[in-house]
């Protein structure tokens, strides 16, 4: 029996090898090695806190936290049971190199020990590591577009006016402003909306780096929409100019109308911006008087100026003109008698046809006056009192004529007399 077991060793070894080869051939035919490719595999960065705990932040460069293609080699039976969700890519910050790269370790979450190979088109994640910087900025609110015609934007406010940002020093240092925008196109009523807070550099370019942390991402912006109205200016002049001069009644403004805005209920109550007496005083003036007036103090509550580059200061000028004289010839037949005692009549004997009355006033009024406008009379009562006469008697007397012109600021200059013959009826 022993001899049978130990005989023909060469033949037995050859038989064993043949059987092994045959098994491999059969196995390869039934479950061959195959290749499976998976695209866009994300890399999980592990232990990133090792960077942040040092007061630093990191940024993945060139998209190296995404593997474009992962190639897996394994038996067909293994490949058939794998899909994209089974591929695992991890970069452990514990393996960070001096050039800020981290090796990527690829595996599958099942049958990992049965893989022939697994590899990606990149083998490491490249990082940019910087010191972390914190900063606070005011949040500015701005509007874009145009409101409906006849309306303007009033106050624009936010429910929060400060934002804290943190991130890589190189990026945070570029941030110049934080602002929230609201589109007001076509609006005629107040607006209240949530608006995203965006960051911009000094050139107005938006900074959108993903590794910037914001304390807030949105703010509630309230925009007041007001009705617009143009108003004229008026001014009440006080005081009396120097003798020989008059205020012409003309007031000029460096800006005759101004644009204001407010709610409709407030604008309905105002038709002009009135500068009261005492602001422009022409007392003892012999030339034009000008005052710089801040008209904002005369605006009613709820109404405000809305013109750009206009703070509300206006030069107001009262026109002062020297008086002059003009003689107007009046037919004596137009002279009336007042206070003539009953039983007497008066006849003007000199001058025969016309008498001359001199008026003092401003050129415009003097040039326009006509003889028909002049009211001329002889006040008998006043004349008798002046002459200390208790009763009138027949005779010829020189009497003064008083002349006025209605609706014109003129005064009689000097004395005009006529000879009057008193006749008892």
pLDDT in tens, 6-43: 556 666 666 666 665 555 554 555 689 999 999 999 99
**Per-residue pLDDT at 210:** 82
∠ CA 49-55-61, rounded to 5°? 65
Q: What is the DSSP letter of 341?
A: P
Bridge-based pairing of strands 395-405 and 191-200 is unpaired
Written as six digits, the tokens of 47 are: 């232990």
Pair type for strands 374-379 and 336-338: parallel
Question: How much is the pLDDT for 308?
Answer: 84
Say what the pLDDT of residue 14 is: 64
The pLDDT score that the predictor gives to residue 135 is 93
Q: Please choose, from the candidates 253, 349, 259, 359, the residue with its C-alpha nearest in 3D space to the C-alpha of residue 303.
A: 259
Question: Within a 13 Å sphere around the CA of 11, how many CA atoms are in the beta-carbon half?
Answer: 5
The position carrying tokens 């995203």 is: 196
By C-alpha distance, which of 103, 179, 98, 172 is closest to 131? 172
Q: Taking a C-beta distance cutoff of 8 angstroms, is the pair 89, 20 a contact?
A: no
3-state secondary structure at position 159: coil
pLDDT confidence of residue 425: 78
CB 169 within 8 A of CB 132: yes
Backbone φ and ψ for 306, nearest 5 degrees, come out as -135, 15
pLDDT per residue, tens digit, the chain (425 aa), is 445 555 566 666 666 666 655 555 545 556 899 999 999 999 999 999 999 889 899 989 999 999 999 999 999 999 999 998 999 999 999 999 999 999 999 999 999 999 999 999 999 999 999 999 999 999 999 999 999 998 988 889 999 999 999 999 999 999 999 999 999 999 989 999 999 999 999 999 999 988 899 999 999 999 999 999 999 999 999 999 999 999 999 999 999 899 999 998 889 889 999 999 999 999 999 999 999 999 999 998 889 998 888 999 999 999 999 999 999 999 999 999 999 988 899 999 999 999 999 999 999 999 999 999 999 999 999 999 999 988 888 999 999 999 999 988 899 999 999 999 999 87
Q: Cβ-count burial of 324 within 10 angstroms (0-12 exposed, 13-18 middle, 19+ buried)?
A: middle
Predicted TM-score (pTM) of the model is 0.57
**Could you tell me the strand order of the sheet in which 395-405 lies?**
336-338, 374-379, 395-405, 416-424, 344-350
**Which tokens in the block code for residue 396?**
């010829």
Q: What pLDDT sits at residue 264?
A: 86
Report helix, strand or coil for 23.
Answer: helix
Q: Which two tokens stand for residue 252?
A: 């000029």
Name the token pair of 161: 């006016």
Could you tell me how far CA 361 lies from the centroid of its own chain? 51
Decide: helix, strand or coil at residue 409: coil
pLDDT, position 296: 94
What is 226-244 written as a DSSP string?
A: EEEEEEEEEEEEES-PPTT
Q: Which two tokens stand for residue 238?
A: 């006080």
Q: What local confidence, expressed as pLDDT, does residue 15 receive?
A: 65
- The C-alpha angle with vertex 419 and arms to 418 and 424, in degrees rounded to 5, equals 130
Burial 25-64 (b: 16+ CB within 10 A, else e): eeeeeeeeeeebebeebebebeebeebeeeeebbbbeeeb
In the chain, what is the straight-line distance between the N-terminal and C-terminal CA atoms, in Å? 197
In sequence order, what DSSP letters do the residues of 362-373 get, joined into one string?
-HHHHHH--GGG
Which helix H or strand E contains 423, and what residues bound it? strand 416-424
Q: DSSP string spanning 178-213?
A: EEEEEE-TT--S-EEEEEEEEEE-TTSPEE--TT-E
């Amino acid at each position: 029996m022993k001899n049978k077991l130990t005989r023909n060793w060469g033949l037995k070894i050859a038989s064993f090898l043949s059987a092994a080869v045959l098994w491999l051939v059969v196995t390869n035919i039934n479950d061959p090695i195959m290749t499976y490719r998976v695209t866009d595999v994300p890399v999980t960065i592990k232990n990133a806190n090792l960077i942040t705990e040092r007061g630093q932040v990191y940024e993945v460069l060139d998209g190296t936290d995404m593997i474009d293609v992962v190639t897996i080699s394994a038996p067909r039976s293994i490949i058939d049971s794998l899909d994209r969700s089974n591929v695992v890519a991890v970069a452990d910050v514990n393996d960070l190199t001096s050039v800020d790269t981290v090796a990527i370790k690829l595996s599958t979450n099942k049958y990992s020990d049965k893989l022939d190979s697994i590899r990606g088109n990149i083998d490491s994640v490249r990082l940019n590591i910087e010191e972390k910087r914190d900063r606070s900025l005011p949040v500015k609110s701005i509007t874009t577009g145009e409101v409906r015609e006849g309306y303007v934007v009033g106050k624009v406010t936010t429910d929060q006016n400060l934002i804290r940002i943190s991130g890589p020093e190189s990026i945070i240092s570029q941030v110049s402003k934080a602002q929230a925008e609201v589109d007001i196109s076509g609006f005629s009523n107040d607006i209240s909306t949530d608006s995203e807070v965006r960051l911009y550099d000094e050139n107005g370019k938006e900074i959108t780096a993903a590794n910037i942390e914001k304390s807030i991402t949105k703010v509630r912006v309230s925009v007041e929409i007001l009705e617009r109205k143009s108003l004229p200016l008026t001014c009440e002049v006080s005081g009396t100019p120097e003798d020989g001069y008059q205020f012409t009644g003309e007031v000029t403004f460096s800006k005759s109308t101004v644009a204001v805005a407010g709610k409709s209920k407030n604008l309905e109550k105002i038709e002009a911006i009135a500068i009261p007496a005492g602001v422009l005083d022409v007392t003892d003036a012999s030339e034009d008087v000008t005052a710089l007036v801040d008209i904002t103090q005369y605006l009613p509550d709820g109404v405000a100026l809305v013109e750009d580059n206009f703070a509300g200061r206006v030069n107001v000028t009262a026109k002062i003109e020297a008086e002059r004289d003009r003689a107007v010839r009046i037919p004596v037949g137009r002279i009336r008698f007042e206070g003539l005692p009953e039983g007497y009549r008066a006849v003007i004997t000199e001058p025969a046809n016309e008498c001359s009355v001199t008026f003092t006033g401003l050129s415009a009024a003097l040039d326009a006056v006509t003889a028909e406008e002049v009211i001329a009379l002889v006040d008998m009562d006043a004349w008798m009192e002046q002459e200390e006469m208790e009763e009138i008697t027949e005779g010829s007397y020189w009497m003064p004529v008083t002349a006025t012109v209605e609706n014109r600021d003129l005064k009689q200059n000097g004395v005009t007399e006529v000879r009057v013959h008193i006749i008892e009826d």
